[in-house]
């Protein structure tokens, strides 16, 4: 079975994580990381990734970040529209926070498409999840 690590290797994905103070999409008490991701073609993405404080400040692994981004992206790709996405995840369609989160997930879809190219669909729907 195809794994996330297989796709990371095949696409020459590189990863750096630097601790940051906050995540504009989360209010929770968590450890936040500014993650820079690139591929051999020179495509780049920067995302804020948050982990529970039980990780004791341990930096995220590339597989964890890519798995989470792929999960978020598959939710957007499977939704017909914002209202459908809200219904699936229990958000109120009148919520500005929900809209901000949805738009962030849409941007991340674009970033993953650039990073993984032809492997984008495989990453979202075929790769073994963590």
What are the extents of the domains in the chain? 4-125
Pairing of strands 44-52, 14-20: unpaired
Residue reference for tokens 């369609």: 93
Confidence of residue 56 (pLDDT cuts 50, 70, 90): confident
pLDDT at 63: 96
Query: For the chain, what percent of residues have pLDDT higher than 70?
Result: 100
Question: How many Cβ atoms sit within 10 Å of the Cβ of residue 109?
Answer: 20
Confidence grade of residue 25 (pLDDT, cut at 50, 70, 90): confident
Tens of pLDDT, residues 75-95: 999 999 999 999 999 999 999
User: What is the residue whose two structure tokens read 């996405």?
Assistant: 85
pLDDT recorded at residue 23? 85
pTM: 0.91
């Amino acid at each position: 079975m195809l794994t996330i690590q297989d796709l990371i290797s095949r696409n020459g994905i590189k990863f750096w994580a630097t601790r940051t103070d906050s995540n504009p999409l989360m209010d929770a008490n968590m450890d936040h990381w500014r993650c820079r991701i690139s591929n051999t073609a020179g495509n780049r993405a920067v995302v804020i990734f948050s982990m529970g404080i039980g990780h004791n400040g341990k930096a995220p692994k590339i597989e964890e970040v890519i798995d989470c981004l792929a999960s978020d992206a598959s939710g957007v790709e499977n939704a017909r529209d914002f209202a459908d996405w809200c219904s699936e995840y229990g958000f109120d369609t009148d919520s500005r926070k929900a809209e901000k989160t949805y738009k962030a997930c849409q941007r991340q879809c674009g970033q993953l498409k650039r990073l993984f190219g032809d492997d984008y669909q495989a990453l979202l729907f075929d790769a073994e999840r963590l």
